[in-house]
Structure 1
Amino acid sequence: MQWRNGLSALIGVWFILAPWILGFSDRTAAVWTSVIIGAVQAIASIWIAVQREAAHGWKTWQNWVSCLTGVWFILQPFVLSLSGLAGETWTSVILGIVTAALNLWEMSAEESTAGSSSGGSRAAAS
């Protein structure tokens, strides 16, 4: 399991637990959104990590899904009126940025690895 995908999966698990840890479990829409999107992020991150041979850089839909969940978590406190809760807002925004960055980094790293390995095999074949 790549460490970037592992960290992204852990952040997804955090968002599943966040409503009770950060104290916004009384806001039904925020709870369900956090739990469902957090689970999607965790599943997509684990899925791509265990299927390393199927990953192809920017074409990896699981990384795109996880990246989009990161973008959602940046917006969540403002869309769901949680901005009055400073702890939730900062945690969500920072971890959303980290998630999006990790997945963009993972996709670019896979692309450069795939490019260098295919280039190396072409050179060996020549």
Structure 2
Amino acid sequence: MTKNAIRNLLAALIGLWFVGAPWIFGFSGHSGAQWSMMAAGFIEFAFSLLALDKTGWDSWQHWIAFLAGVWFMMLPFIFSFGLGMTLFILALGIVTVLLNFYNMNAES
């Protein structure tokens, strides 16, 4: 398994975590935060799997997953989560962005 595939699988797992996060952290009653996090998580999951064998800056699958990571980084500030959850979501968003950046920058 290549480093690219491992990074994509890690990003896909982060996406799955974001799909379940509204129930894990107990904010499923806040529909805006719930649906935003679930949608971006599903996008991250699906496009990370679609990008398993892709590298380079022309990989549109990585760009979509990269943008999902940017959205994760913005979510805590849009929906005003507590400090602990904000830092955790922000950290996972940064990891998502970096994983996709490294995959786009990788050699074919």
Please indicate, yes or no, whether the TM-score normalized by the shorter chain is above 0.5: yes
Pair 1:9-2:12 in alignment = yes
The answer for unaligned runs of 5 or more in structure 2 is: none
Structure 1 stretches of 4+ with a deviation exceeding 6 A read: none
Which residue number corresponds to residue 58 of structure 1?
57
Assess if the C-alpha contact under 8 Å between 2:8 and 2:48 holds in 1. yes
Structure 1 portions without partners, runs of 5+: 115-126
Is 1:86 aligned to residue 76 of structure 2?
no
Q: TM-score, normalised by structure 1?
A: 0.79
| Secondary structure in 1 matching 2:51 | helix
Alignment of 1:96-115 (within 5 A): 96-109=93-106, 113-114=107-108
Q: CA deviation at 1:56?
A: 4.5
- Give a deviation string over 1:70-114, Cα, whole Å, max 9, x none: 1111110111232xx2332112100000000000001111xxx23
1:59–1:9: structure 2 CA closer, same or farther, 3 Å change rule? same
- Give 3-state SS (helix, strand or coil) of 2:28's partner: coil
Between the aligned partners of 1:27 and 1:87, the Cα distance in structure 2 is 18
Deviations 1:13-64 (A, max 9, x none): 0000011111211211000011111001100000111xx2xx3400001101
Correspondence for 1:32 among 10, 32, 35: 35
TM alignment of 1:60-79, pairs within 5 A: 60-79=59-78
Structure 2 Cα separation of the partners of residues 89 and 25 of structure 1:
16
Which structure is higher in RCO with an 8 Å CA cutoff and minimum separation 6? 2
Instruction: State the Cα RMSD in Å.
Output: 1.2
Q: Structure 1 vs Structure 2: percent identity of aligned residues?
A: 43
Does structure 2 retain, via aligned residues, the 8 Å contact 1:4–1:102? Answer: yes
3-state SS in 2 of match to 1:87: helix
- C-alpha distance in 2 between matches for 1:99 and 1:13: 12
- Structure 2 Cα separation of the partners of residues 12 and 86 of structure 1: 21
